[in-house]
Amino acid sequence: MASRVLFRGARVVDPAAGHDAIADVLVEDETISAIGADASSRSKADVLDCEGLVLAPGLVDLHAHLREPGFEHKETIETGTRAAAAGGYTALCAMPNTDPVADNTAVVMEVANLADKAGLCDVLAAGAITRELAGESLTDIGEMAEAGVRLFTDDGHCVQSSRVMRLALEYAKAFDVVICQHSQDAGLSEGWQMHEGYYSALLGLTGTPSEAESIVVARDLALARLTGGRLHVTHVSAGQSVELIRHGKKSGLRLSADVTPHHLTLLDEDLVTYDTSLRVNPPLRSVEDREALRAGLADRTLDAVATDHAPHAAEDKEQEFDQCPPGTIGLETALAVVLTELVSPGRLSLSDAIDRLSTRPAAILGLEEHGGPLTPGRPANLAVFDPSAQWVVGDRPFISMARNSAFRGRTVQGKVLHTMLRGTFTVREGEPTR
């Protein structure tokens, strides 16, 4: 007998279908079987009252560090994907800066197998652009593409060589994959600790200017124009970069970009407390940069919100500010931060928020089973959340192994109650199912 779950009376927000209305949704086994009157007429279902709740496609993260293999003291694929499910995610792209580096098919398959074993969230392993992330010689992009890799990045490192980046984009065109750049000029960011400006001078910390990012973005847009390859600019932080990307899209480049919740929310001035959880890469920038990022997300210059989930062991983040590694966790807080900082104040509609958190990132990664549309016969990859529920970040223990959240102590709005991956609850009533 088929398993049936009826989500009754939810506000169904489905950007891919252009749908935003109250409806019942029936899930049978792994798929959505009915929506609306057809769903509510079925009998013998496990009924969940969703009045006042939002039902949306499961979220998709373009950029997360799961740390395995090699750094299991920070996070594992199992704990990271459990945290992702708790945040409403049903798919994510895992960065390749592991040990060994995911610069070959063997490591990519290891990540995929560990994710399949955990069964909590679909994981697409990113492949490195260059061997050992050294920026010198290309990996076998074709072989990894044949193994299912769709995005290649040296994240944590910028590909400094124009020649190497050109070759990577040419391969991207040949194999229809995405080259994702961590845009950071080495010369302008040497020894950096935060954004260069008034507050870096005030705090006595070495700054890196916004131009360290935008110079690389400008070069890579020129290379994308030259080669016709697909370029993705990740964790955009500078207003100048937003304007360059806007112009590049208007000129017809195969181009996409993402921004993190922390860059959409926090500022360089927040570092006056020397809170090491606020040391991120790229650094938090000025209020002008933040406003440009928000505008870029609203007008679709920036396609997606990506967490850049970067867990660290407690002892790593307890060092002095200039000694600690950069990064903040984000999978459990991303939805709530976007709802609190962008949707609630009216800067972004709820449908647009789901588009940037689910529909667009799924399209960039070519994940046809994710991001909607929520129609009969489609896989039941769903997130159900209470958009008005308030909670304080850190009051409840994190699901992730790490605790280095830039949002610890902040009151946010929006709580995930149910996450479903192909018809199976990974989170139910706000608690992971395993």
Taking the CB of residue 136, how many other CB atoms lie within 10 A of it?
Answer: 12
On the CB side of 238, CA atoms within 13 Å amount to 25
CB 263, CB 285: distance < 8 Å: yes
CB 238, CB 290: distance < 8 Å: no
CA distances 165 to 66, 175, 178, 369, Å, are 25, 15, 12, 31
In DSSP notation, 320-368 reads -TTTSPP-BB-TTTHHHHHIIIIITTTSS-HHHHHIIIIIHHHHHHT-T
Is-catalytic flag, 46?
A: no
Helix, strand, coil % in the chain, rounded to nearest 5: 35, 25, 40
Q: What are phi and psi of 408, to 5 degrees?
A: -55, 130
Helices 77-86 and 105-118: crossing angle in degrees, nearest 10, is 50
d(Cα 305, Cα 31) in Å, to the nearest integer? 26
**Catalytic, out of 14, 61, 154, 308:** 308
d(Cα 161, Cα 184) in Å, to the nearest integer? 12
In DSSP notation, 250-277 reads HTT--EEEEE-HHHHH--GGGGGG--GG
CB 305, CB 264: distance < 8 Å: yes
What contacts 294, CB < 8 A, 6 or more positions away?
A: 264, 342, 347
DSSP 104: S
Catalytic residues: 308
